[in-house]
Structure 1
Amino acid sequence: MMGHQRVEQAALFYEFSLERHVPADHLLRSIDRFVDLDGLRRELAPFYSAIGRPSIAPELMIRMLLVGYCFGIRSERRLCEEVHLNLAYRWFCRLGLDGDVPNHSTFSKNRHGRFRDSDLLRQLFEAILRRCIDEGLVGGESFAVDASLIKADANRQNGVEGEKGLPPQAASRAIDEYLDVLDDAAFGAATEVVPKFISPADPAARWTGAHGGQAFFAYSTNYLIDVENAIIVDVEPTTAIRQADVLAAKRMIERTAKNFALHPSRLLGDSAYGSAAMLGWLVDEHGIEPHVTVFDKSARKDGSFAREDFNYDPAVDVYVCPGGKTLTTTGTRVNDGETLLYRASKADCDACALKPSCCPNTPARKVPRSIHEKARDRARTIANSWEGRTYRRLRKKVEMLFAHLKRILRLDRLRLRGPNGARDEFLLAAAAQNLRKPAKLIPTPQPKPT
C-alpha cells in the first residue's frame, strides 16, 4: 500500500546542533584540525582602517576559498550558494545556521586589494606547510621538481599575431600585469623568441603546442615536493617554456632553504632540468645530488663518432680519440662562456684511417666540453646506479599531484587572468592539496569515553 507523508504542524522551537549533523569522517572535520588563521589576521591588520564599518571577516573568506579549492568548486558565485546550503561547509566556515554568506563580489575586491598587497595567499600556503613540517610529514632529504601546463582563461581564436603586438586601444588589469613582468626572467625575459600569437585578454599567457595537439594559451605551475609524503614545499607560476621552469626550480629551492631551513640532499627531475648549467648549480653551488636526466644532444645523426666515443683524461685535461690521438684545448670559452673546445691536430686527422668515421666534412675533429661536465658525469653515474633507478620511480609522485590538481580539484583551466591571478590560484590549490595530506595520514583523535 502506498504510504502518505504525515503533515505536521510547524513547531515553535527547534533544538538543532550543527556539530551533530556533520559526519565524524567528513573530510572537512579532518582538515579543520590543521587550519590556524590567527597569524594571517595579524598580517592583514595594517591593511584595514581603524574606523568605519566592520568588513567581512578575512578568516571567513579564506575558509570559504579553502572549501572551494578542496572540493573543486571553481566559481565563487557557486561557492557562495554551496556554503549557504551545505551544513558541513557552514560548520567549517563558522557560520552556524543563521550566519550570512558574503556576496561573491567580496572575494574579487579583496583579492585585487588586501590579499595581494599583503601576499596573504603565500602566507597561507606557508602556514599550512609549516604545520605539515611540525607533524613530521616532511623528511627534507629528497625533493622532486616538475612543471605542468594549465590553460589560461584566454580564447585561442581571439589571439593576435605576436609580431604585430597588442592593439593600441587594449587596456585591462591583465595587460598592466603583463607589462610589469616583461623584465621578469620567469615571464617576459625568459626567452627572446616572439610567440606566434598573443592573447589580448591575457597577454602574459604563452601560446604553446607542447601537448602535441591543438595549441593554446597557458601558464606553467611549478611544484617542488618532498617525496616522502608528497607534500608540496613550494609552488611558482611561470610562462610556459622550459627556461622559465628551470628558473622556478632554483627560486623554489632557495626560498625553501631560506624560509624553512630545508636543504635536500638530492633532487629528482626530468630532462627539462638536466642542462649543464642547472646541474652545475645543483652540484657545485648547493651540494645536491642530481637525480636528473641529463639533457644531451651530442649524438650524431650521420653515423660518425659521438662525444662519448672519446675518453677524457682529467689528469692531463685532454680527450683521447678512438685512434689514440689527443685533443687539447686552449682554455678559450665559447657559447657564453659555458663550453670549452678540444681540438685534434690536422696532421693527426689527415693521417688517420678513422677520419671518414670521425670528421668526414671537417679538417680536424673538435669535441665540446661543458665547464659543468663533472656535474653532468655525476648525474649520469647516479642515473645508472641502483639508487638512481629507485628514486626515478618516486618522481612520479609529482605527476600524480598534477593529475589530482586537474581531475579532482578541476584546475585544468584558470579562472583568473594575469600572472597574479595564476599565482593566486596555484597557491590556493597547493594549499588545499597539502591540507588533504595530513587530514588523511593523521588519524582523528577519538573522544574519550565518559
Structure 2
Amino acid sequence: MDRKLKYINFFTVLSRWVFFGSLIGIVVGSFTAFLLETNDFLGEIREESGWLIFFLPLAGVVVGYIYMKFGKVFLNNTLHDAAELNNLVIEGVHGKKKVLLRMGPIVYLGTFITILFGGSTGREGAAIQMGGSVAQAVNMFFRKNKEDTKILVMSGISAGFGAAFGAPITGAVFGMEMAALGKMKFEALVPCLAASFTGHYITTSALGVEHVEFIIQTLPEASLVTFTKVILAAVIFSILSISYCQLRHGIQNLSEKIFKKNHIKRAFIGGVIIVVLTLIVGSQDYNGRGLEMLEQSFKEDVPPFAFLAKLVFTAITLGTGFVGGEAIPLFFMGATLGNTLHDFMNLPISFLAALGMIAAFSAGTNTPIAAFLLAIEMFDGKGAEYFFVACLVSYIFSGHHGLWPSQKIYQPKSSLYKIPNGDTIEEVEKKKKSRDS
C-alpha cells in the first residue's frame, strides 16, 4: 500500500509540474511571438526611416519616465525595481525579491521604444522578464509556497529563452543555469522542460514565427593545431565578453551616480551620445539589433572593428537606462570578431563567426552548458567538439564577471580563483575594488 501511495504521489507531483510548465509556456510563447514579430516590424520601420535616430534622446525620456513612474514597488520595506531587469528575475529565483507582475509589459514597451528609435540592443531579455512576470502571476493565482515560486520563475525563464531563440533544449537548461554559478536546481527540470518546449512550439508551430538561421559552411580538419587555435580564440572571445560587461556596468554605475539614479536624465544623455556616435560612424549598422551584419559575418568580410563599435554602442545604450536583450549584441560582437580573426587564424570564416557567437555568450552569461546546447541546436550539431571546448575555456577564462551582477557563486569556476562561496558577482566586484584601493 505504501508503494502504491508513493507512485500516486510521484505521478501527482510530476503531472502538476508538467501542467504548470505547460501553462507558463503557452502564455509566454504567445507573448514572445508578439515580441518577435513586433520587433521585426519596428526594426524595418527604423531601417527605412533613418531620421528616427534623432528622436532617441526623447525616447530615452519616455523609457526613463516609465521605469521611474511604474517600475518601482516597495514590498516588506524592500525596493523591487523593474529597472534591475534580468537581475530582478535572478533575485526572484533566489527568493530575495519578487518579480513584479508589471515587469513584463513595461520591458516590452521599453524594448519596442528602444528598437524603434535606434538603441543598440536585443530582445530576448524582454522575453525572459515576461517569463518571470507570467510565472509570478501563476504563482499568485495558485498560491504556491516559496520553494515552488523559485521553480516557477525558472520555468518562466526557460519558456522565454526557448521561445525567443527557437532552442527548447537550451531553454530548459538555461532556466536552471542562469541564476547561479556552480549549481543547478535539477528539481526544476520537468517544469523548465515543459515550459521551454511548449513556449517554443506555441511561437513557431502555432503562431508561425520564423527564427533567423546561421549556417556553418565549412568545418576545419580536426587536429591538435586546430584545437589549439580554438582554445586561443575562446580566450580572446572571453576577453571581449569581459570588456563589454565591465564597460556596460561601469557606465551604469557612473551614470546612476552622476544623475542620482534619475533614469530620465540618464537615458536622455545616453540617447544624445548614441546619436553623436552614429553621426561620427556615418552608418546605422550598430543601432538596433544589427542582424544584417551578424548574418553577413558568416559569409563575407565585415569592417574589422565592427565588434568594438557594437560593444560601445550597446554598453552606452543599456548602461544609460534603455532596455532590451544582451544576447544578440553579444552574438554580434563575437561573430564579427571571429570574422576579423579568420585572416590571422586560417580557419573558415563561418566557423569562427559561429565560435565567436557561442563563446562570447558562454562567457557573458556564465552558462557553459546552455551555450554548448545552443550551439548544437543552432548549427545542427556541426563542430560539437570545438564548441564544447570553446564554451568551457571562455567560461573559465572570463573569471567571475558577467552580464548579471545578481548571479550567485555557489562554487568558484576553478581553484585558481580564491572566491568565497555564496557571494554574488556584484559582491565579488566590490570586494576586489576595496582591496585594490
Give the shorter-chain TM-score range. Answer: under 0.3
Quick check: which one's strand share is greater? 1
TM-score by length of 2: 0.26
Decide which structure has the larger Cα Rg and report it.
1
Quick check: which one's helix share is greater? 2
